[in-house]
Amino acid sequence: MVFKTMFSFITSFIPTSYIPEWFTLDANPVTCLLQGLIGACGISVLCSLMRLHLFLEEESCSDTKDASTPGHHRRAHSGLVGKLQFLLVTGTLAVVGSRVASLVVLEFCIRAVSGLATAGPDSKRCVQQLLVQSQFSLGCALSCSLHFLHEGATQRWLCLLLAAALGWFLAGQAALLLRHVLLLYKLHSSQRYCGICIGLLAWGRRLMPALCRAVCVTFSVAAVAAVSIINQHFLSTSEALRFWTPLTICYTLLVVYMQEDQHRQPGSQAVLNTVVVRLGGLTVLMLTVGRWADVLHILMCFLGEASCLIPTKDLLDAALSQEEEDATHYARGEPRRRPQTQEKEHRR
């Protein structure tokens, strides 16, 4: 109630009659800010756990790699750069409306299903790349899910405040865990006097499957919420069909084209190119069947995707280098040893 009173007092001095309707937010700015904060915290947790997984993978295969080679996970952004990135992602998710966030979620769901269906033997690399590419989409998924679940709640801002506090706590704990493991995992796992490092040594291989299941559940809930949010803007079934038909056909063809282009040109640069292609295609579609507010929010999505993907290009490069290493060992007839096998040898 205090936030609402402060916001009403501030906005009373703003001449809203001169502000275009499509330039304003679609909800209370406090609510939008809390949703953006929750989405940014979810992205932070995802990046921390991804870097932790890559570190454990490199440690489990340290006998086949040069110990002096710096790992991709060690390039994690911290300090002022990390805080600025977090604030930028929070602000972008707060500005992007629930309608465009829903479209981003549905586009990623189509892209993920298409990528996994055509991955074949490269499914592990495809999953890792999808997790890295899902950062901004994950923030949109959390945002539109919370918008859908708390719609109509009398104390919506209080629910979001509690969720933001929980997200902030989880993001901080994930960052502390990553920092602890990067600095002390080798010592603690060898001396066996740290419960965290011993637990990661025994159960670290289950981190990626658990992370994948959590992301799948998040996008499943977000997909239902996204369809409901988009359909609220239509007055009739025919109007909804005029929107969904070109959107589904064009985006399915666009996703198939992007998957083939990534197979031809693997690399982090190709992933960044696909961001321009798919958001550009969504902009063209919104110019024909959308609203001016949608176009503005899609332009903000360019900034959000860039602020998520550019600092994590090393994670994409790590997934590609892991694929090349697997191919090299397979060609030599020396498959990589699993972490469980190395753990048994370490105990001996």
Does residue 186 fall inside a structural domain?
Answer: yes
pLDDT of residue 57: 84
Does residue 261 fall inside a structural domain?
Answer: yes
Residue 247 has pLDDT above 80, yes or no: no
Quickly state the pLDDT bin for 15 (edges 50, 70, 90). very low
Please write the tens of the pLDDT for every residue from 292-340.
778 888 888 888 998 888 888 888 777 666 655 554 444 444 444 444 4
For residue 227, give the H/E element and its range.
helix 207-231
CA-to-CA distance for 149 and 146, rounded, in angstroms? Answer: 5
Q: Which residues of 238-267 are buried (b: 16+ CB within 10 A; e: fewer)?
A: eeeeebbeebeeebeebbeebbeebeeebe
131 touches 211 (CB < 8 A): yes
- Structural domain including 207 reads 30-53+76-347
CB atoms within 10 A of CB 200: 23
CA-to-CA distance for 98 and 171, rounded, in angstroms? Answer: 23
300 touches 95 (CB < 8 A): yes
Average pLDDT, the chain: 76
Provide the domain count of the chain: 1
Distance of CA 279 to the CA centre of its chain: 16
Does residue 69 fall inside a structural domain?
Answer: no
Does residue 153 fall inside a structural domain?
Answer: yes
Write the CB contacts of 321 (distance below 8 Å, at least 6 apart in sequence): 72
What is the mean predicted confidence (pLDDT) over 80-105? 89
Does residue 81 fall inside a structural domain?
Answer: yes
What is the mean predicted confidence (pLDDT) over 10-21? 42
Gyration radius of the chain over CA positions: 22
Token representation of residue 164 = 């933001």
CA-to-CA distance for 205 and 315, rounded, in angstroms? Answer: 18
Distance of CA 162 to the CA centre of its chain: 21
Q: Which residue has the tokens 């990534």?
A: 262
CA-to-CA distance for 139 and 43, rounded, in angstroms? Answer: 6
Whether this prediction's pTM lies above 0.85 is answered by no
The beta-carbon contacts of 331-336 under 8 Å, at least 24 apart in sequence, are 336/61, 336/64
Positive or negative, the CA dihedral 324, 325, 330, 335 is negative
Please write the tens of the pLDDT for every residue from 32-87.
899 999 999 999 999 999 999 988 888 877 644 444 444 544 555 557 778 888 99
Residue 344 has pLDDT above 50, yes or no: no
Worst-scoring range by mean pLDDT, 131-140, 208-217, 235-244, 308-317?
235-244
Q: Is 100 exposed, middle or buried (0-12, 13-18, 19+ CB in 10 A)?
A: buried
Token representation of residue 241 = 């069909």
Does residue 87 fall inside a structural domain?
Answer: yes
Helix, coil or strand: residue 73 = helix
Q: Is 302 exposed, middle or buried (0-12, 13-18, 19+ CB in 10 A)?
A: middle
173 touches 88 (CB < 8 A): no
> How far is CA 76 from each of CA 22, 60, 196, rounded to the nearest angstrom?
38, 20, 20
Transcribe 137-199 into DSSP letters.
HHHHHHHHHHHHHTTT-TTHHHHHHHHHHHHHHHHHHHHHHHHHHHHHHHHHHHHT--HHHHH
Q: Which residue has the tokens 């299941």?
A: 213
Q: Nearest 5°: phi and psi at 25?
A: -75, 155
